[in-house]
Amino acid sequence: FILQNLIEDCKIDLSSTLKEGQVIDYKHIGEPLLNTDKSLLRKIIINLGSNAIKFSPANSTIYIKTEITKTDFKLTIKDNGIGISKEDQKHLFDRFFRGKNVINIQATGLGLHIVARYITLLGGNIAVESELNTGTKFIVAIQY
């Protein structure tokens, strides 16, 4: 499938949850065609994108970047939101885990656990870079 088309569809779906002034900025590098499970990838993008929107302030930008090479695919979703403490990052993909700084934000604590499972099914891995009050970046890498 053509990756940019999938991302544009996801952006449309995510647009209904954007806060006032929030925008999604998308960049792609590499070939347009990706050979992976489109349905699982869509669920990953929607979940990570929804989290970026939910945990970022109004008038901010959510960055989505994709890259396809001959050997791998990389998806990066970055925000300038509330961030995740180093202590909480260790448990981020545990079932029902919620960070200490998101107690007042509605969520179940299952989303990232499920995303990690989907990525495992695709043969990939996920990494997180985050700092409190600065933002979060999730990097999904799938080799083929």
Task: Judge whether 72 and 144 are in contact, CB under 8 Å.
Answer: yes
Is pLDDT at 98 greater than 80 in this prediction? no
Is pLDDT at 1 greater than 80 in this prediction? yes
Residues whose CB is less than 8 angstroms from the CB of residue 3 and which lie 6 or more positions away in sequence, other chains included: 28, 32, 33, 34, 66, 68
pTM: 0.92
How would residue 41 be classed by pLDDT, with cut points 50, 70 and 90? very high
For the chain, give the percent of residues with pLDDT over 70.
91
Residue 109: per-residue pLDDT = 63
What does the block give as tokens for 17? 């949850």
